[in-house]
Structure formats: C-alpha cells, structure tokens
Amino acid sequence: MTTILISLLRNVDTFEHIRSAICAAREYERERLAPADAGVAAIAL
C-alpha cells in the first residue's frame, strides 16, 4: 500500500500535466467550433 502511495505522489505532476493537456484540448475545440456555430446562427436569421 505504501509503495502505491509513494508512486502516486511521484506521478502527481504527470497527472496534472495530463489534466492540463485535456483541458487545453477541450478549450481549443470549444473556441474552434464556436465561430462556426455563430455563423450558422447568423445565416439562419
């Protein structure tokens, strides 16, 4: 059990980097899709 906890503590930075990368990818997708959605809404009006 102690070995697992030590391993997790050593990898906290790795998990944080992965989480940050996922958040950045989601934000990129949101920003990339938002203008297209706005254009479709403007055309519909």
Strand, helix or coil at 4? Answer: helix
Strand, helix or coil at 18? Answer: helix
* pTM of structure: 0.51
Domain count, the chain: 1
Which tokens sit at 29? 């997708």
Cα separation, 16 vs 18, in Å, equals 5
Cα separation, 38 vs 27, in Å, equals 17
pLDDT digits (tens, 9 = 90+) for 1-45: 688 777 777 777 788 888 888 999 999 888 887 665 555 555 555
Range of the domain at 12: 2-44
The pLDDT assigned to 40 comes to 55
Q: Which of 27, 29, 9 is nearest to 19 (CA)?
A: 27
